[in-house]
Structure formats: C-alpha cells, structure tokens
Structure 1
C-alpha cells in the first residue's frame, strides 16, 4: 500500500458536472493522481500513477470506453 499525503491536494471537479455529484481529481501531487467522490470528500481516494492517469485520459479521448448500443 502506498502512503500519500493528501493534505496539499487540490481537488477539482469538471465544469461539465451537474449538481448530482461527480468525481474530483487532484493532479498537483508528486507522481500520483488522486480521485474521489465529490459527494463523499472524506471517503476513500483512488490513487493512480501519472502514467496510468495519462493512459486513462488518452483512452477516454480516443473513445476506448464509449458504450456501444
């Protein structure tokens, strides 16, 4: 298990998210990206390496996760 100090994390929510909640992302941490539920900010946080996050965002942009009807 990796121990990361989240006290300096600046979480941000997408401008496209509504009032129903969303995920928040903190990218200002050294070597990791933190993701949490905006409705449960004291809850669990998922941690990804910079490389994992870059690959995920690239996959989203490329449509790798689009739902097929």
Structure 2
C-alpha cells in the first residue's frame, strides 16, 4: 500500500505581521469599549461618547447617500 505524502508539509512557514497598535483606541471598536467601560487610560468617557456619536452620524450619512443613489430593491 502506497503512503501519501502531505502536500502542505513542504510549504515554508508564513510570515505574519501584527497590526499596528497606535490609534486603535480611536477606531469604532475602541471607542465603544471605552464607552461601555466608563473610559480607558487613553480615551476619556466623554470623548468616547462624542466619537461614537460622530461614527453613527457618518455611518447614517453614508447609508443615506448610498441608498438614495442606487435603488437596491429594483
């Protein structure tokens, strides 16, 4: 009986690069975490609230423009 070799065994290991950690507190996930946690060491609660509202306004505006320009039901 012949043995089958693993085709993935001869591959070189992949190089992985971590994502940069600067500025992640100001992205939507970081602002929501800071908002839910009452603030973070890098982001005050009031700034997290303001950024969350700003992200919501931006998402709403982009959605309204997109749906107004292109009818997705027709």
Both proteins in one fold, TM over 0.5: no
Of Structure 1 and Structure 2, the greater helix share is in 2
Normalised by the size of structure 1, how large is the TM-score? Answer: 0.25
Q: State TM-score, norm by structure 2.
A: 0.24
